[in-house]
């Protein structure tokens, strides 16, 4: 078997395509494979009709999987055919997607490396690609994946916001909570953006099948859900409420810390994260110190205790009991003389009907938050995406649950 035949089999190149020449460059560790189209007619890429050959386009190249350690490239002058209906069109190469500089096998491999690598940078180096090439492979992969998505029933959605770049630019994400995947993301966190997000991610029928949506106590999102998914219950979820209470605890700590420092008391310096974790998760190293702080008559320890107490709320089996529990908690919170806690307590009270829906649906954005931390890694990895499109592609590439094979 000569080397041309060997490569024809390896690459699955079939008639009328044929390998005319294989140039093995030992010094450069590189293989260049020339492919010819040996026919005077070919299929129109639009309709498949066999049409007469018109001419050849200028030579194009595709990177293929390395052969052993040899970087391997395919080259071909793709023929153009003249279709009666569609005019002069370039015949599609069977080894690559339109406009790609890589063969399908290479792209498939690159997708796997990108998914397995700890960072895009690591994958990029392993594959010997530049940043732009990696982004193009990801963009095509996501496009394929989205076009293959099946229209399934998605009963529970999560809507969440995420900071995009520094400053106050946000994206909104729509998550399939059961499927644990990001359906799509859009720029901004306005009512309009959220409506567009729902519309572009779900068909009319899918929208009607949604039974509940988990989201923060954020009016813009609630309004969008009310309009686009009127039959679905809104669930202001556990995850966001605990985030709000943590914010309040931290605010109390900051204010109190300032006061104490004025009096030369540094007890609260460096304790920010101690107060944000749940009691059972306070690390051993801090356990003693934490015990002392809790027992001391500090505002932050009272705030923390109220935050911890609220966790009981979620343990009830029925909304009615949970509501009674809340009323008790609310009375304590309001009498606490801790402004940040009182503020959040009122916020929770005002939204209570859509918090009690939890006991019917039992959903939270915890899944979405898991995906969020993945998105955070994507952001850090990318050292800040310049364009929203690139950021969106990466999110869908890693969190979209897509079938992206070429
Ligand atoms: Zn045609």
User: Where is average pLDDT lowest: 19-23, 344-348, 364-368?
Assistant: 364-368
Please give the pLDDT value at position 317.
Answer: 93
Q: What is the pLDDT of residues 87-99, one digit of tens each?
A: 999 999 999 988 8
- Listed in sequence order, the residues at least 6 apart from 320 whose beta carbon sits closer than 8 Å to its beta carbon are none
How many other C-beta atoms can be found within 10 angstroms of the C-beta atom of residue 30? Answer: 16
Cα of 261 vs centre of ligand 1, distance in Å, is 79
Cα of 230 vs centre of ligand 1, distance in Å, is 45
Cα of 79 vs centre of ligand 1, distance in Å, is 14
Position 1 confidence tier, pLDDT thresholds 50, 70, 90: low
Q: Tell me which residue has tokens 């990177």.
A: 63
Cα of 87 vs centre of ligand 1, distance in Å, is 7
Yes or no: say if 181 and 175 are a contact pair by the CB < 8 Å rule: yes
Yes or no: say if 77 and 134 are a contact pair by the CB < 8 Å rule: no
Please give the pLDDT value at position 381.
Answer: 65
With H, G, I as helix, E, B as strand and everything else as coil, classify residue 28: coil
- Listed in sequence order, the residues at least 6 apart from 321 whose beta carbon sits closer than 8 Å to its beta carbon are none
Q: What is the pLDDT of residues 181-217, one digit of tens each?
A: 999 999 999 999 999 999 999 999 999 999 999 999 9
Position 118 confidence tier, pLDDT thresholds 50, 70, 90: confident
What average pLDDT does this structure show over 361-375?
Answer: 81
Task: Mark 372-392 as b/e (b = at least 16 C-beta within 10 Å).
Answer: beebeebbebbeebeebeebb
Residue 25 and residue 22: Cα distance in Å, rounded?
Answer: 10
Yes or no: say if 61 and 73 are a contact pair by the CB < 8 Å rule: yes
Cα of 123 vs centre of ligand 1, distance in Å, is 40
Position 223 confidence tier, pLDDT thresholds 50, 70, 90: very high
Please give the pLDDT value at position 233.
Answer: 98
With H, G, I as helix, E, B as strand and everything else as coil, classify residue 191: helix
Cα of 85 vs centre of ligand 1, distance in Å, is 5
Cα of 80 vs centre of ligand 1, distance in Å, is 12
Cα of 52 vs centre of ligand 1, distance in Å, is 11
Instruction: Give whole-number Cα distances, 187 to 80, 195, 208, 229, in Å.
Output: 41, 12, 24, 20
Q: What is the pLDDT of residues 381-403, one digit of tens each?
A: 665 566 888 889 999 999 999 99
Residues with CB under 5 A from ligand 1 (ion): 44, 46-47, 83, 85-86
Please give the pLDDT value at position 297.
Answer: 82
Please give the pLDDT value at position 16.
Answer: 93
Residue 373 has pLDDT above 60, yes or no: yes
Mean pLDDT, the chain, whole residue set: 90
Residue 282 has pLDDT above 70, yes or no: no
Residue 156 and residue 135: Cα distance in Å, rounded?
Answer: 31
Cα of 43 vs centre of ligand 1, distance in Å, is 8
Cα of 41 vs centre of ligand 1, distance in Å, is 13
Please give the pLDDT value at position 182.
Answer: 95
Cα of 101 vs centre of ligand 1, distance in Å, is 24
- Listed in sequence order, the residues at least 6 apart from 80 whose beta carbon sits closer than 8 Å to its beta carbon are 53, 54, 55, 56, 57, 88, 89, 90, 91
Determine the angle formed by the axes of helices 299-310 and 339-350, rounding to 10 degrees.
20
Please give the pLDDT value at position 285.
Answer: 66
Q: Which residue would you say has higher pLDDT here, 285 or 334?
A: 334
Cα of 86 vs centre of ligand 1, distance in Å, is 5
Q: Which of 64-68, 169-173, 272-276, 336-340 is most confident?
A: 336-340
Cα of 137 vs centre of ligand 1, distance in Å, is 28
H/E run at residue 220: helix 219-228
Cα of 34 vs centre of ligand 1, distance in Å, is 27
Structure-token pair, residue 155: 């009963």
With H, G, I as helix, E, B as strand and everything else as coil, classify residue 263: coil
Angle, CA 30 vertex, CA 25 and CA 36 arms, to 5°? 85
Structure-token pair, residue 283: 């690390």
Residue 75 has pLDDT above 90, yes or no: yes
Q: What sign results for the dihedral spanned by CA atoms 310, 315, 274, 180?
A: negative
Yes or no: say if 75 and 34 are a contact pair by the CB < 8 Å rule: yes
Please give the pLDDT value at position 227.
Answer: 97
Q: Which of 13-27, 223-237, 256-270, 384-398 is most confident?
A: 223-237
Cα of 47 vs centre of ligand 1, distance in Å, is 4
User: Which strands form 30-37's sheet, in the order they lie side by side?
Assistant: 17-25, 30-37, 70-76, 60-67
Q: Which residue would you say has higher pLDDT here, 68 or 83?
A: 83
Cα of 77 vs centre of ligand 1, distance in Å, is 20
Looking at the DSSP bridge assignments, the partners of residue 102 are 63
């Amino acid at each position: 078997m000569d080397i041309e035949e060997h490569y024809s089999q390896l690459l699955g190149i079939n008639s009328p395509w044929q390998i005319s020449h294989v140039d093995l460059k030992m010094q450069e560790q590189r293989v260049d494979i020339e492919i010819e189209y040996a026919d005077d007619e070919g299929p129109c890429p639009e309709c498949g009709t066999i049409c007469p050959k018109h001419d050849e386009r200028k030579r194009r190249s595709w990177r293929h999987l390395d052969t052993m350690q040899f970087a391997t490239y395919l080259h071909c002058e793709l023929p153009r055919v003249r279709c009666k209906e569609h005019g002069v069109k370039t015949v599609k190469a069977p080894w690559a997607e339109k406009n790609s500089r890589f063969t399908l096998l290479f792209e498939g491999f690159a997708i796997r490396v990108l998914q397995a690598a700890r960072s895009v940078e690591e994958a990029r180096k392993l594959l010997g690609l530049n940043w732009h090439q990696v982004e193009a492979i990801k963009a095509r992969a996501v496009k394929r994946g989205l076009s293959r998505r099946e229209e399934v029933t998605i009963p529970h959605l999560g809507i969440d916001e995420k900071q995009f770049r520094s400053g106050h630019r946000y994206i909104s994400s729509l998550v399939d909570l059961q499927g644990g995947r990001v359906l799509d993301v859009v720029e901004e966190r306005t009512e309009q953006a959220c409506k567009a997000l729902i519309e572009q991610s779900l068909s009319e029928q899918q929208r009607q099948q949604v039974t509940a949506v988990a989201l923060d106590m954020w009016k813009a999102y609630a309004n969008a859900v009310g309009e686009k998914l009127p039959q679905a219950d809104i669930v202001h979820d556990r995850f966001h409420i605990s985030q709000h209470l943590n914010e309040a605890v931290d605010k109390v700590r900051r204010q109190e810390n300032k006061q104490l420092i004025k009096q030369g008391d540094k007890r609260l310096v460096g304790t920010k994260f101690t107060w944000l974790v749940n009691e059972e998760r306070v690390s051993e190293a801090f356990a003693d110190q934490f015990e002392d702080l809790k027992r001391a008559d500090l505002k932050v320890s009272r705030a923390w205790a109220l935050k911890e107490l609220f966790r009981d709320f979620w343990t009830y089996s029925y909304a009615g009991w949970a509501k009674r529990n809340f009323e008790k908690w609310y009375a304590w919170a309001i009498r606490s003389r801790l402004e940040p806690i009182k503020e959040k307590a009122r916020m929770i009270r005002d939204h209570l009907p859509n918090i009690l829906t939890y006991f019917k649906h039992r959903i939270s954005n915890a899944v979405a938050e898991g995906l969020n931390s993945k998105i955070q890694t994507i952001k850090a990895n990318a050292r800040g995406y310049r364009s929203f499109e690139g950021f969106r592609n990466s999110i869908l590439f890693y969190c979209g649950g897509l079938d992206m094979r070429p």
